[in-house]
């Protein structure tokens, strides 16, 4: 078994244990320098948190453990192709590589379809299923201006 297969096997084990304990069938591990630094499963229903996907939970653990929001130098192994939310979080965390087992189409076959989100992202805001209304842009731009002018900001 290769090192990558070993890490993926752990993500798969976490996904199976998650089902056994009442969670969704997803697991993820984050690896740095050949060692697992974070591992998690889906806890959406356990935590009553729609963002508690395995990848998000693992990213939160890894960031806390390493004391940084920048996970460059790390890789993620996930039992399923990341959904749009998780994919976005992976990019924001700057993970170097994504390994996945099941596809998003496999997930859709068991009731976890995120295709509608991909479709919604492509639409202009005014055509999305959830009404999306812009308000008070001029006032909100003040925070962006303050950020732009801030000399000691931490870029991310």
**Which positions are catalytic?**
55
Burial class for 98, CB neighbours closer than 10 Å (0-12, 13-18, 19+): middle
Distances (CA, A) of 8 to 15, 73, 77, 80, 112: 11, 18, 6, 10, 20
d(CA 14, CA 62): 16
What backbone phi and psi angles, to 5 degrees, belong to 71? -95, 30
Joined together, the tokens standing for residue 149 give 């002018």
List the strands of the sheet with 74-80, edge to edge: 35-41, 27-32, 74-80, 97-102
Give the β-pairing of 74-80 and 27-32. antiparallel
């Amino acid at each position: 078994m290769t090192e990558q297969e070993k890490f993926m096997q752990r993500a798969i084990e976490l996904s199976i244990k998650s089902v056994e304990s009442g969670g969704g069938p997803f697991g993820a591990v984050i690896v740095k320098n050949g060692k697992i630094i974070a591992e998690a499963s889906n806890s959406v229903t356990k935590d009553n948190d729609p963002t508690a996907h395995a990848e998000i939970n693992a990213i939160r653990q890894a960031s806390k453990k390493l004391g940084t929001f920048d996970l460059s130098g790390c890789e993620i192994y996930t039992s399923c192709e990341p959904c749009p939310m998780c994919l976005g979080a992976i990019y924001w965390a700057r993970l170097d590589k994504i390994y996945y087992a099941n596809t998003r189409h496999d997930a859709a076959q068991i009731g976890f379809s995120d295709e509608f989100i991909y479709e919604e992202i492509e639409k202009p805001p005014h055509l999305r299923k959830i009404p999306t209304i812009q308000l008070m842009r001029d006032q909100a731009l003040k925070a962006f201006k303050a950020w732009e002018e801030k000399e000691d900001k931490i870029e991310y």
